[in-house]
Structure 1
Amino acid sequence: MTQQDLRIGIIGVGMMGADHAERVARRTSGARLVAVSDPDVARVTALATALDGVRVIDDPLQLIADAGVDAVIIASPGFAHAEQLMACLEHGKPVLCEKPLTMDTESSLRVVEAEQKAGRSLIQVGFMRRFDPEYAALKQLLDSGDLGRTLLLHNVHRNKTVPETFRSEMIVRDSLVHEVDVARWLFGDEIARITVHAPKPTSLVGDGVLDPQFAVFEMAGGAIADVEVFVNFQVGYEVRCEAVAEKGSATIGLGVDVLTKRAGHWGGAVPDDFRVRFGLAYDIEVQRWVNAAAKGEIDGPTAWDGYAAAAVCTAGVQSLQEGRPVEVEMVRRSEVLG
Structure 2
Amino acid sequence: MRDLRIGIIGVGVMGADHAERVVRRISGARLVAVSDPDLPRATTLAESLGSSSAPAAGTGDGDAIRVIEDPLALIGNAEVDAVIIASPGFAHAEQLMACLEHGKPVLCEKPLTMDTESSLRVVEAEHKLGRQLIQVGFMRRFDPEYAALKQLLDSGELGRTLLLHNVHRNKTVPESFRSEMIVRDSLVHEVDVARWLFDDEIARITVRAPKPTGLVADGVLDPQLAVFEMASGAIADVEVFVNFQVGYEVRCEAVAEKGSATIGLGVDVLTRRAGHWGGAVPDDYRARFGTAYDIEVQRWVDATARGEIDGPTAWDGYAAAAVCTAGVQSLQEGRPVEVEMARRSEVLG
1:42, distance to aligned residue in structure 2 (A):
1.3
Match of 2:308 among 297, 300, 306: 297
Query: Is 1:219 the counterpart of 2:247 in the alignment?
Result: no
Q: Distance in 1 between matches of 2:48 and 2:197?
A: 40
Name whichever of 221-230 and 254-263 sits farther off. Answer: 254-263
Q: Tell me the equivalent position of 2:55.
A: none
Query: Is 1:274 the counterpart of 2:255 in the alignment?
Result: no
Q: Tell me the equivalent position of 1:18.
A: 16
Within-5 A mapping of 1:136-147: 136-147=147-158
Q: Tell me the equivalent position of 2:94.
A: 83
Query: Is 1:190 the counterpart of 2:224 in the alignment?
Result: no
Tell me the SS of whatever aligns to 1:199. coil
Q: Tell me the equivalent position of 2:192.
A: 181
Q: Tell me the equivalent position of 1:69.
A: 80
Q: Distance in 2 between matches of 1:7 and 1:333?
A: 33
Within-5 A mapping of 1:41-190: 41-52=39-50, 53-190=64-201
Cα deviation digits, residues 113-143 of structure 1 (max 9, x gap):
0000011100000000000000000000000
1:260, distance to aligned residue in structure 2 (A):
1.7
Q: Distance in 2 between matches of 1:267 and 1:216?
A: 31
Q: Which runs of 4+ in 1 moved over 3 A?
A: none
Tell me the SS of whatever aligns to 1:235. coil
TM-score, L = length of structure 2: 0.96
Tell me the SS of whatever aligns to 2:268. helix
Q: Distance in 2 between matches of 1:259 and 1:123?
A: 40
Within-5 A mapping of 1:256-335: 256-335=267-346
Which AA in structure 1 matches 2:306? K
Q: Distance in 2 between matches of 1:243 and 1:265?
A: 30
Q: Distance in 1 between matches of 2:273 and 2:149?
A: 31
Within-5 A mapping of 1:28-43: 28-43=26-41
How much identity, in percent, do the aligned residues show?
89
Query: Is 1:8 the counterpart of 2:6 in the alignment?
Result: yes
1:242, distance to aligned residue in structure 2 (A):
0.2
Q: Distance in 1 between matches of 2:290 and 2:18?
A: 10
Which AA in structure 1 matches 2:41? R
5+ residue gaps, structure 2:
51-63
Q: Distance in 2 between matches of 1:178 and 1:195?
A: 16
Q: Distance in 1 between matches of 2:295 and 2:276?
A: 35
Count of residues in Structure 1 that have an aligned counterpart in Structure 2:
336
Which AA in structure 2 matches 1:256? V
Cα deviation digits, residues 70-108 of structure 1 (max 9, x gap):
000000000000000000000000000000000000000
Q: Distance in 2 between matches of 1:179 and 1:5?
A: 34
Q: Distance in 1 between matches of 2:75 and 2:298?
A: 20
1:266, distance to aligned residue in structure 2 (A):
1.8
1:41, distance to aligned residue in structure 2 (A):
1.2
Query: Is 1:251 the counterpart of 2:262 in the alignment?
Result: yes
Cα deviation digits, residues 297-336 of structure 1 (max 9, x gap):
0000000000000000000000000000000000111011
5+ residue gaps, structure 1:
none
Q: Distance in 1 between matches of 2:303 and 2:96?
A: 18
Tell me the SS of whatever aligns to 2:292. helix
Q: Distance in 2 between matches of 1:78 and 1:271?
A: 25
Tell me the SS of whatever aligns to 2:122. helix
Q: Tell me the equivalent position of 2:25.
A: 27
Cα deviation digits, residues 150-170 of structure 1 (max 9, x gap):
000000000000000000000
Tell me the SS of whatever aligns to 2:84. strand
Q: Distance in 2 between matches of 1:260 and 1:150?
A: 34
Q: Tell me how large the CA RMSD over aligned residues is.
A: 0.5
1:264, distance to aligned residue in structure 2 (A):
3.4
Q: Distance in 2 between matches of 1:122 and 1:64?
A: 13
Within-5 A mapping of 1:231-246: 231-246=242-257
1:192, distance to aligned residue in structure 2 (A):
0.1
Tell me the SS of whatever aligns to 2:207. strand
Match of 1:207 among 218, 227, 248: 218
Which AA in structure 1 matches 2:185? D
Q: Distance in 2 between matches of 1:65 and 1:209?
A: 40
Tell me the SS of whatever aligns to 2:31. strand
